[in-house]
Amino acid sequence: MSKPKRHVFFVSDSTGITASTLGKSLLAQFEDNVELEFTTIAFIQSIEQIEDAVKKINEYAKTSEYRPIIVATLIELEYRHILTKANALVIDIFGQFIQPLELELGLKSSHAIGRTHNYSRGEETLSYYNRIEAINFALQHDDGASIKRYEDAEIILLGVSRSGKTPTCLYLAMNFAVTAANYPLVAEELTEGLPPILRPHRHKLFGLTIAPENLQRIRQQRYPNSSYASLTTCQIEVQKIEALFRQLQVPYINVTHTSIEEISAMILKQTGLKRFFK
């Protein structure tokens, strides 16, 4: 039996990131039994635009077996009111939570559109520079490309080739302004202990490991049928690097079946590195 198909619209006066992040989290609870399709309608900034959005959603509803689901982040009360005219289940995030916060804080919300991310408007500040600097740092120190400023790194990731070091460094930089470097331990280095260049930074090292079968599939995508991508190579490298991590007491996590978001959050939790907010 095929799964019922449900269409989800993320409707926002800003980027739609909050609506889609929350909507996907909620709907992940049902994904074994529903097929989901997503559309984002972002930067709604006038009555006309919200009315257009409702029209579009209602057009869709007419041709569809089930009514759509809307997940909305709209500050303006009037926009939220117009949205209720859609033939859809409306998950109205701000409608639900702004009021209890107003009561708790004893304040009225500013109803300021474009305030839906506090790392945004009006900031030529530390927050922008910090993120950009962290991204530049990750790019310059990717894959051992430069080791000049290892002393400025907050963390140095170790792992075999294709274990996810680069995307993790970039994610940590982009989202948390963490200055992260990574060093690719090549096969020959794995049995020689820690390379001299890393020795002064031992307390910053953090390891990634991965199931050899998955590593093989990832490498296979890149260099099909190479010795690099063979299961034997993957098994040997993973075995050696895990032995090295244990020998050197480098903390490490297994990233098999783990998203970049999860790897990054696990690293922050284990290392106690501060998340960067605002």
Binding-site residue ranges for ADP: 159-166
258 binds a copy of itself (CB under 8 A): yes
Q: Does 257 bind a copy of itself (CB under 8 A)?
A: yes
Residue (192 or 262) nearer to a copy of itself, CB: 262
Q: Which of 59, 78, 152, 261 binds a copy of itself (CB under 8 A)?
A: 261
**Rule CB under 8 A: which of 94-123 touch a copy of itself?**
94, 96-98, 100-101, 104-105, 107, 109-112, 115-123
Which among 26-34, 149-157, 183-191, 201-209 is the span making contact with a copy of itself, rule CB under 8 A? 26-34
Instruction: Pick out the residues of the known binding site.
Output: 159-166
**If binding is defined by CB under 8 A, does position 17 make contact with a copy of itself?**
yes
CB of 168 to a copy of itself, least distance (A): 10
Binding string to a copy of itself for residues 150 to 189, with x set by CB under 8 A, is what? --------------x-xx--xx--x---------------
Closest to 38 in 3D by CA, of 14, 11, 18: 11
Estimate to the nearest angstrom the gap between the alpha carbon of 122 and the chain centroid: 24
CA–CA distances in Å: residue 20 to residues 38, 40, 124, 153, 276: 9, 8, 27, 32, 22
- Which CB sits closer to a copy of itself, 46 or 247? 46
Q: Which of 18, 161, 235, 271 binds a copy of itself (CB under 8 A)?
A: 18
Q: Nearest distance from residue 244's CB to a copy of itself, in Å?
A: 24
DSSP state at residue 11: E
Does residue 131 interact with a copy of itself by CB under 8 A? yes
Asked if 75 interacts with a copy of itself (CB under 8 A), we say yes
Q: Per rule CB under 8 A, is residue 73 in the interface with a copy of itself?
A: yes
| Half-sphere exposure (Cβ direction) of 9: Cα atoms closer than 13 Å | 26
- Give the separation between CA 163 and CA 184, rounded to whole angstroms: 10
Checking 1-6 for CB contacts under 8 A at 24+ apart, the result is: 2/35, 3/33, 3/34, 3/35, 4/33, 4/34, 4/35, 4/65, 4/66, 5/34, 5/35, 5/36, 5/37, 5/64, 5/65, 5/66, 6/34, 6/35, 6/36, 6/37, 6/66, 6/68, 6/69
Residues 184-223 that bind a copy of itself (CB under 8 A): 214, 217-218, 221
- Using alpha carbons only, what angle is made at residue 150 by residues 149 and 154, rounded to the nearest 5 degrees? 115
* Shortest distance, position 241 Cβ to a copy of itself, whole Å: 19
Q: Helix, strand, or coil here: 125? A: coil
